[in-house]
Amino acid sequence: MRINMKKTGKNLLVLLALLPGIILIIFPMYVTIVTAFKTPQESGSSFFALPSSFFLGNFISVINKSYYFRYILNTAVILLCSVIVELLIVPMAAYSIQRNNRKYYRFIYIFIVCGLFVPFQVRMVSLVQMMSQLHLMSKLGMVFLYLAATTPPGVFLITGYLKSVPEQIEEAAYMDGSSYGATYFKVVFPLLKPILSTLLIKDSLFIWNDFQLPLIILNGSTKSWTLQLFQYNFKSQYSFDYNLAFASFIMTMLPILILYILIQKNIVAGLSAGAVKG
């Protein structure tokens, strides 16, 4: 069997180039997992060594913390409400924009996409003032903020993806007597599954792991905290409980990891198709 030395050398160079990135990803994961299964005494004596036994006391302590399941419920409610409303409204907006050639639709598209270029730090102060005046420093306010944050990239990706969907399919539906709404929900919407799966995992990761917005909006009451604010509570003025924090990190990471595994087949297709330029 002949070996292509040129191709082998190229693959080796690619592997060497990727190796630092692989280490940067694997090493923090290793530290997180081994620390979560250690006692505080083991972490103090050897932080990077493997645990002598799989100690589950850290996970039990996290679960027994006050309001832990309330924090899970708060995070889940905010996530589900934000994502469900996004996946209903944003595709309809993108479809209307992409299938109309009128100038004001183009203006609306540019206006929405401009939101991608405004950093959160620029609008943070005015945003908090507005939410406070509207009495929306609550979980409902968080849903509105996440919808506002996810709409520009969602419209951008779905509009690009729709360019790969032939308009002849819709025209055939209209010829069969289908209405505009029925054509969208029965013909177009099912074809958006790859890009909607991409948005689902992308925005679920963002909302589930977000710390900054909950810290600003929900910090008034401990009962309104999300999981990220709960994890931040492991930090005191003079110390940080690494064992409990890392155990909590693993427990927080599992739901999103399971979601990613379930819909990963559609993510690459959705991103590549949604990146088509307008």
CA pair distance 84, 148, nearest whole angstrom: 14
- Residue 139's contacts (CB-CB under 8 Å, 6 or more residues apart) are 74, 77, 78, 218, 224
Provide the phi-psi class of 135: left if phi over 0, else alpha when psi is between -120 and 50, else beta.
Answer: left
Q: How many CA atoms lie within 13 A of 276 on its CB side?
A: 15
Encoding tokens for residue 236? Answer: 């005191």
Q: Which amino acid is at 172?
A: A
Residue with token string 């405004």: 118
CA–CA distances in Å: residue 216 to residues 60, 110, 125, 137, 141: 29, 29, 10, 9, 11
In the prediction, which pLDDT does 83 show? 95
d(CA 248, CA 228): 10
d(CA 79, CA 91): 18
Max CA distance (Å), the chain? 75
Helical segments of the chain, H only: 5-36, 40-45, 57-63, 68-98, 103-113, 120-133, 139-162, 167-175, 180-183, 189-191, 193-209, 212-217, 227-232, 242-263, 267-274
How far apart are the C-alpha atoms of 157 and 198, rounded to whole Å?
Answer: 9
* pLDDT of res. 222: 84
Q: What is the pLDDT along the chain (278 residues), one digit of tens a residue?
A: 455 666 777 778 888 888 888 888 889 889 889 989 998 888 878 778 888 888 888 899 888 887 889 999 999 999 999 999 999 999 999 999 998 888 889 999 999 999 888 888 788 888 888 998 999 999 999 999 999 999 999 999 999 889 888 888 888 888 888 888 889 998 899 889 888 988 998 999 999 999 989 999 998 788 889 999 888 877 765 567 788 888 988 998 888 888 888 877 766 554 544 444 44
d(CA 65, CA 73): 14
Separation CA 259–CA 230 (nearest Å):
22
| Fold observed for domain 56-274 | MetI-like fold (1.10.3720)
Report the distance separating Cα 31 and Cα 33, nearest Å: 6
Query: pLDDT value at position 88?
Result: 94
- Local structure of residue 142 (DSSP, 8 states): H
Q: What distance in Å separates the CA atoms of residue 148 and residue 116, rounded to the nearest whole number? A: 11
What's the pTM? 0.84
CB 90 within 8 A of CB 198: no
pLDDT in the model for residue 194: 86
For CATH 1.10.3720.10, the residue range(s) in the chain are: 56-274
Residue 236: what pLDDT? Answer: 63
Of 231, 166, 181, the C-alpha closest to 32 is: 231
